Structure 1
């Protein structure tokens, strides 16, 4: 089993959740019934919070202390470039804690959700294409 296998599985799950969210991102439908969006977003909150905590508190710190210079450099670069994703995601969660908040402004919820999903997808894609393979190779 590759050292990044758990993280890669999380990424698959996050992509699936993102697809479910994107399928319900219609302001008119959310106005009529926000429940489908709420369920999908809550699932994202749970999975992504765990995933970020594991990466930011375990994987990245280990890579930053590793003997391999290339791994340390890429981990540093990724942490610098994408380090505020957790903060942005926390802000998103505070803005949209449940159905009442979402129902108050569905168009803004849709816009904010599109933004946070784009950030998530970018991080996932870059980690898989630029970072995880190096982690697996030197581990």
Structure 2
């Protein structure tokens, strides 16, 4: 299975998270509009990535004749549902600049939790899942 697209999207996502981090460090209140634009942009890319994983990657892994690959695919797919829901709830709470500007520390705190989990997930996929997908 060719997973170059998934790998490239992970790189793009980490670049986008870096850009968001820079905006936050420059001042949450001052850059609330740009932060919202970055979140909305990232969310579109994340939704497309997750949809491709659900339609292509996970079914291919689960259908593998290798029990380790099939089980790993199932586990990653189940775990992703929770993280995706957490991320989408985060974006729903913070998709208005005034909400971010009114509670910059609340935004920072929640963003740190959500993006740490997202980063951890990307690393796990890169290190554990994608090498297995390369074998399918």
> Normalised by the size of structure 1, how large is the TM-score?
0.88
Q: Is the 8 Å Cα contact of residues 39 and 95 (structure 2) preserved in structure 1?
A: no
How many correspondences in the alignment? 136
- Return 5+ residue gaps in structure 1 as ranges: none
CA contact (8 A) 2:6 2:49 kept: yes
RMSD: 1.7
Q: Is 1:19 paired with 2:18?
A: yes
| Aligned position for 1:128 | 126
Q: Which residue of 2 aligns with 1:117?
A: 115
Counterpart selection for 2:65 from 67, 72, 77: 67
Other-structure match for 2:9: 10
State the alpha-carbon separation in 1 of the partners of residues 12 and 77 from structure 2: 22
Secondary structure of the corresponding residue to residue 27 of structure 2: helix
Deviations 1:25-63 (A, max 9, x none): 24x822233123222222211111111121133311221
- 1:107 paired residue number: 105
**Residue ranges of structure 2 left out of the alignment (5+ in a row):** none
- Give the distance between the partners of 2:46 and 2:31, measured in 1 at CA: 24
- The equivalences for 1:47-62 within 5 A come to 47-62=45-60
- Distance between the aligned counterparts of 1:32 and 1:131, measured in 2? 39
Return the offset for 1:16: 0.2
What secondary structure is seen at the aligned counterpart in 1 of 2:76?
helix
Determine the structure 1 residue equivalent to 2:93.
95
Instruction: Give the CA deviation at 1:104.
Output: 2.1
Contact residue 100 and residue 107 of structure 2 kept, 8 A? yes
Tell me, in whole angstroms, the C-alpha distance in 2 between the residues paired with 1:80 and 1:119: 15
State which drifts further: 46-55 or 125-134.
Answer: 46-55
